[in-house]
Structure 1
Amino acid sequence: MTQPSTQEECTPSHARPTGHVTTIRLRTVAAATIGNIVEWYDFALYTAATPLVFQRLFFARHDDGLLAQIEPMLVFGAGFLVRPAGGILFGLLGDRLGHARALRYTLTIIGIATAAIGLLPGQATIGVLAPLLLLVLRLAQGFAAGGEWAGAVLLLGADSPAARHRGIAFALTQSGVAAGMVLGGAALWAARQLPEAAFLSWGWRIPFLAALPFLLLGLWLRATPHRDTPIVRSARPRAASQGMGLQGMGLPLLTGTMLRLAENGSIYMMLVFGMAYGHMHHVPDRWMLLAGTLGMVADGLAMPAFGWLAEHLGARTIYALGAAGMALFCGPFLALVASGSQSGVILAFIVGMGLCHAPMIAVEPALLSALFPPAHRYLGVAVAHEAGALLAGGISPVVATLLVHSRWGNGAVCGYMAALAGLSLLALLARPARRLAFPQPQE
């Protein structure tokens, strides 16, 4: 069996009938980003709910010791253990059966698991089963999330009208990430306005159950696209079993994994460890949720701007600026949060996410996509993306929590962030610039 030409799957938008261009792009944008919205809506909910809900209801203890802080973070990080496996499975499915079919599977699993968390009884009701069931649902979410991001990025990236606009097209997929985080953070912030007893009894569950409407909308968008969109063309069976698969991709996979460390480690350090760090310094929950939400807004608004800049300055330059900025801003970020000032906490998240994290995540799809050939791009991007998430995002909140309680305190946390940034910068230097340019529509 022969593979269909890359030209069929990656035909630029300007080559399509002009009467359908606007509809095609809007439909592709919506279908590609809805999964990111659901995935990161859940992410924002879980990260914010960890110190506010799960630590109290699912990991209840009589003290406020280090173990009580780490346990819910370990459950959160457990989802990352299965993300590479999910990336392999859904990457193979996407390359062989089409991106759209794989993306419907990932969206369904993420949406159902998120809503199911909202139905879980607490430890006081079912004992040790409560954290165990929470762990199972986190594993399901992580497994499906392993294939979601790569497929969504490739769908929307293929629909950009020309190579010079692909920086903005890739950045738009990441705006879906920010939109999900904003919605999740805002939903839990609104629920937190309830009286304490009502919030801990039923109020926190509503935002998790609200994932179901997103799921239904996403399934509709991905099941019934316009017949001329890249979603349909990508859904045609392909013989991806031919060629190298993961074999022969060792160096690109290593490079992609290292590229991911600074971006992923920084966002989880801010939104997971940062929330717990504020709780340690008795910053009001409402302030932390508001600061996190405003930081996500800044992140999402800045992404297209940095995507545009990358088209003029290069993706490597933009990513390097973000990685260096995050390493340098770690100390001020922690100091602003610990200050207990509402304006200081808000400033920490806006600068950290809008000026340091946004440059990295805006160009990350372009950098990863350029490392792999079209026939195996879904698989390669998914595995590199999720391996980096496992090594950075999955453990960074736990590592930061342990380090901040060490004799070196905040300095150790910032040293850890600098190490992640250094590894990503090495990956940028290790590959020729031509391999890290924006991938062309036809290859």
Structure 2
Amino acid sequence: MATSPVTESPLGIPKSRSRQLMAASIGNVVEWYDWYAYTFLAPYFSVQIFSEISDNSLVPLLGSFAVFAVGFFMRPLGGLLVGAFADRYGRKSAMTFTIVLMGVGSLLVGLTPTYAAVGILAPIILTLARLIQGLSVGGEFAAATTFLVESAPQGRRGLFSSFQYVSTTVGQLLASGLAALLATVLIKADMESYGWRIPFIVGAVLSLVGLWIRKSADETSAVAEEIQRGRAERPKMFEFLKHYPKSALMIVGITIAGTVAYYTWTTFLPTYAQITVNFDKADSLQIGTISLVFFMILQPLLGMLSDRVGRKPMLITFGLGFLILPVPLLGLLTDAYGSLLIVQLIGMVFLGCFTSISAAVNAEMFPTRVRAAGIGFPYSATVAIFGGTAPLIGTAFREAGNPGLFPWYMSALALISTVVYIFVLRETKDQPLR
């Protein structure tokens, strides 16, 4: 990478790096808009795609969240395959591939026929679409994470890392905002009939925009360029696991608490409020949107803070927060508008201490040669097991009549990661990328 120029933006980012941030961030916005639109709209389309085999209205919703979890289980495969592709052929090529996949998956969701029209074929088509999206998102995190952190000048990796979740949150905001708008302007019957399809069609179009913008990016992996010139040997598929098993295991420990907290607080909490305290659907989507704006603003601020104080203090703050707070916070939920808003905002502050630096911490674990695959597989596998199943587990606890067990489940996972943060993790903020 070229040396940092003198001119900088207000956030301290050299202006020559802005194109890199834009290429990664805008494509990432599209990727995660498509991914999260599913969660926000699940309460509306579940009755269209899944048959109500009983009088229990939660059965279709459970089906939709089961498909949501299935999509997550493609993410480790995407992280491995696309990560290995990024290590061999470059981050830019990998990011181009992932955004095309996401557009195809989003279009397929938007065109999924109803159960009444085609029967069991409807959930099969939806599942196929989520498998495609899961493969794409797993690969996207591996490629975009390495691209962002490798683009950062020394002393700014925490700040650049934060744009992973700035762009992710912008995607969520677009999905949540459009869902909230449609829920406001359309009557419930229209929303359940055709309104839920609109965001997915929009997502397919946005994928083309992201594809065009990513073509302007510069490659960040000198190793991949050397491989293409025949001057370096291609890394093996599981080379990262053979030579850096401790780093791979560390990513699992670091991520367990972060992923369940993230998917609960940023996507599932509005639905959790609906099924536990009968919170209004439209109001919960509005509150989710407000909270996401707050969350997005926090990311670069906390990323810059980590460049000063280090990664460990930030992660320990997050871990202790989610060890202690889930039970009392979720216990405060009522059907009052302010209760859900307060609970979400408090959780976002602690969650930001993890999300703002997750990309930097992961990238600092591996050398360039195997960085994308080394991050992509263990991270995506952990997210699949714990993050992707969070909505399903929360809904299943409610179905079993024990919704209060879910926050205890979150705290138990937070305990595991907090032990890693305090006793195992070493500070890496001042170390050069390997």
Is 1:426 the counterpart of 2:419 in the alignment?
yes
- C-alpha distance 82-23 of structure 1, shift in aligned 2 (>3 A): same
Q: Which residue of 1 aligns with 2:326?
A: 330
* Distance in 2 between residues matched to 1:136 and 1:237, nearest whole Å: 37
TM-score between the two structures when normalised by the length of structure 1:
0.88
Is 1:363 the counterpart of 2:354 in the alignment?
no
Question: Which residue among 162, 168, 178 is the counterpart of 1:177?
Answer: 168
- C-alpha distance 269-432 of structure 1, shift in aligned 2 (>3 A): closer
Superimposed CA distance per residue, residues 342-392 of structure 1 (whole angstroms, 9 cap, x where no aligned partner): 111122222222x12111111111111111122111110111220110121
- C-alpha distance 95-232 of structure 1, shift in aligned 2 (>3 A): closer
Please report how far the alpha carbon of residue 405 of structure 1 lies from its aligned counterpart in structure 2 after TM superposition: 4.7
* Distance in 1 between residues matched to 2:222 and 2:174, nearest whole Å: 31
* Distance in 1 between residues matched to 2:57 and 2:194, nearest whole Å: 26
Q: Which residue of 2 aligns with 1:3?
A: none
What letter matches 1:428 in structure 2?
Answer: Y
Alignment of 1:202-221 (within 5 A): 202-221=194-213
What letter matches 1:236 in structure 2?
Answer: E
What letter matches 1:112 in structure 2?
Answer: V
* Distance in 2 between residues matched to 1:92 and 1:318, nearest whole Å: 30
Q: Which residue of 2 aligns with 1:415?
A: 408
Q: Which residue of 1 aligns with 2:129?
A: 137
Q: Which residue of 2 aligns with 1:50?
A: 42
Q: Which residue of 1 aligns with 2:225?
A: 236
Q: Secondary structure at the match of 2:225?
A: coil
Please report how far the alpha carbon of residue 40 of structure 1 lies from its aligned counterpart in structure 2 after TM superposition: 1.8
Q: Secondary structure at the match of 1:433?
A: coil
Q: Which residue of 2 aligns with 1:6?
A: none
- C-alpha distance 224-306 of structure 1, shift in aligned 2 (>3 A): closer
Question: Which residue among 51, 55, 58 is the counterpart of 1:60?
Answer: 51
Alignment of 1:15-26 (within 5 A): 24-26=16-18
Alignment of 1:291-306 (within 5 A): 291-306=287-302
What letter matches 2:129 in structure 1?
Answer: L
Is 1:388 the counterpart of 2:382 in the alignment?
yes
Q: Which residue of 2 aligns with 1:7?
A: none
Please report how far the alpha carbon of residue 15 of structure 1 lies from its aligned counterpart in structure 2 after TM superposition: 6.7
Q: Secondary structure at the match of 1:121?
A: coil
Q: Which residue of 1 aligns with 2:258?
A: 263
Structure 2: segments with no counterpart, 5+ residues = 228-232
Given that residues 82 and 142 in structure 2 are in contact (C-alpha distance below 8 angstroms), is that contact kept between their aligned partners in structure 1? no
- C-alpha distance 152-330 of structure 1, shift in aligned 2 (>3 A): same
- C-alpha distance 43-125 of structure 1, shift in aligned 2 (>3 A): same
Alignment of 1:6-405 (within 5 A): 11=1, 13-14=3-4, 24-53=16-45, 55-61=46-52, 62-64=54-56, 66-162=58-154, 164-193=155-184, 194-225=186-217, 229-231=218-220, 236=225, 238=227, 239-241=233-235, 244-280=239-275, 281-337=277-333, 339-353=334-348, 355-405=349-399
Structure 1: segments with no counterpart, 5+ residues = 1-10
Bigger drift between 198-207 and 138-147 goes to: 198-207
* Distance in 1 between residues matched to 2:92 and 2:323, nearest whole Å: 37
Given that residues 73 and 385 in structure 2 are in contact (C-alpha distance below 8 angstroms), is that contact kept between their aligned partners in structure 1? no
* Distance in 1 between residues matched to 2:337 and 2:376, nearest whole Å: 38
Given that residues 279 and 285 in structure 1 are in contact (C-alpha distance below 8 angstroms), is that contact kept between their aligned partners in structure 2? yes
Q: Secondary structure at the match of 1:141?
A: helix
Q: Which residue of 1 aligns with 2:230?
A: none
Please report how far the alpha carbon of residue 323 of structure 1 lies from its aligned counterpart in structure 2 after TM superposition: 2.2
What letter matches 2:47 in structure 1?
Answer: R
- C-alpha distance 266-105 of structure 1, shift in aligned 2 (>3 A): same
* Distance in 2 between residues matched to 1:149 and 1:17, nearest whole Å: 30
* Distance in 1 between residues matched to 2:14 and 2:156, nearest whole Å: 15
Please report how far the alpha carbon of residue 438 of structure 1 lies from its aligned counterpart in structure 2 after TM superposition: 5.6
What letter matches 1:358 in structure 2?
Answer: G
Given that residues 7 and 14 in structure 2 are in contact (C-alpha distance below 8 angstroms), is that contact kept between their aligned partners in structure 1? no
Superimposed CA distance per residue, residues 116-139 of structure 1 (whole angstroms, 9 cap, x where no aligned partner): 211111111111111111000001
* Distance in 2 between residues matched to 1:32 and 1:64, nearest whole Å: 43
* Distance in 2 between residues matched to 1:124 and 1:235, nearest whole Å: 50
- C-alpha distance 181-407 of structure 1, shift in aligned 2 (>3 A): closer
Please report how far the alpha carbon of residue 70 of structure 1 lies from its aligned counterpart in structure 2 after TM superposition: 1.9
* Distance in 1 between residues matched to 2:370 and 2:159, nearest whole Å: 23
- C-alpha distance 424-192 of structure 1, shift in aligned 2 (>3 A): same
- C-alpha distance 191-408 of structure 1, shift in aligned 2 (>3 A): closer
Given that residues 25 and 159 in structure 1 are in contact (C-alpha distance below 8 angstroms), is that contact kept between their aligned partners in structure 2? yes
What letter matches 1:196 in structure 2?
Answer: K
What letter matches 1:347 in structure 2?
Answer: I
Please report how far the alpha carbon of residue 73 of structure 1 lies from its aligned counterpart in structure 2 after TM superposition: 0.9
* Distance in 2 between residues matched to 1:147 and 1:315, nearest whole Å: 25
